Copies of this chain bind each other. A is one copy, B any other.
Amino acid sequence: MANSTRQFGHIDGIQPGATFKDYSSMNAAGIHRQSQSGISGSGLEGADSIVVSGGYEDDQDLGDEIVYTGQGGRDSSGKQIADQELVRGNLALVKSQLEGLPVRVIRGAHKGNPFAPKSGYRYDGLYVVDSHWHEEGKSGFKIWRFRLVKLIDNTSKVASQSADDGDLGGSGNTTPTRKASQIQRIVRDTKIAKSLKKYYSYKCQVCGICLMAAGVPYAEAAHIKPLGAPHNGPDTIDNILCLCPNHHVMFDFGSFSINDDLSLIGIEGKLYVGDKHAINRDYLIFHRAFFYTKNN
């Protein structure tokens, strides 16, 4: 792996669609700086690129969306023989999610994948890590999963830029263009979610706070079992919580979860639930099993 600064975003001169024979040529081009690992990155900086090769039995490639399995716990034949841990490449992808960093996605040839190239490897552009969780893989061992969503070029505003060096001495960009910013977090909302927030008068069900903004209350809706592939949680009242932004971030990242008796796990306290808001315990079970991470 090259020792130069980690480069996030597009690599100059390499357009999406560019093909490569093998890892060695990708490494030389700087598009994926690993000799064999599928994830290039570190927990401190984030992941700059991944290779989707269908090597993991649990990967799901939907084109613009990818459910990517983390690394580790496999023997030399590729068979899962131990739990995966949230370290190295896996932690790098979590960091990318938290910072909204763009990840270069490269697809390797794989017979079963209609989105894969016929042979070799193809650079397929930039994705962002939308969410991550853990589950029991087909092998019975714990695996980490990452949902990546393709960035649309017109709106991604992602410039090719090197990793943050943490140096406050830099003057930054005094004449910023809109291209220089990245999206760190997107909060989505649905009609039924709006009605729940109204029901709770925009008070957080965890801490009771109601943020006021220009006299208008603000809260966010959190789906307990997430919407969209692969979880396909429903957009129904029994699957939604009304949370302040801080507790929304913590809940989505599994820093806390909720017992069936509504006591909280990971942080102190109990979820406040109004008489008219019936929460489906199945979704709480799901969140505890897939999203809650101990000791964080």
Contact = CB atoms under 8 A, between A and B. Distances in A.
Interface string A232-267: 001111000000111011101111000000000000
A42 B176 CA distance: 35
Contacts of A249: 211, 213, 218, 245
Interface string A176-187: 101011111111
A99, A168, A276, A277: which has the most chain B beta carbons within 10 Å? Answer: A168
A189 B195 contact: no
Nearest to A134: B214
Contacts of A171: 236-237
Nearest to A192: B172
Given A176-B227, A188-B181, A189-B99, A296 B168 contact: no
B172 A236 contact: yes
Interface residues of A, number: 75
A190 interface: yes
A3 interface: no
Interface string A154-190: 1101000100111110111111101011111111111
A191 interface: yes
Given A154-B152, A175-B234, A250 B166 contact: no
A111 to B, nearest CB: 29
A260 to B, nearest CB: 22
A228 interface: yes
A29 interface: no
Contact of A165 (B95, B100, B195, B255): B195
A132 interface: yes
B94 A235 contact: no
A285 interface: no
Contacts of A74: none
A233 to B, nearest CB: 9
A279 B75 CA distance: 53
B195 A91 contact: no
A151 B182 CA distance: 17
7 contacts: A91-B215, A94-B213, A94-B215, A99-B189, A176-B190, A213-B255, A245-B245
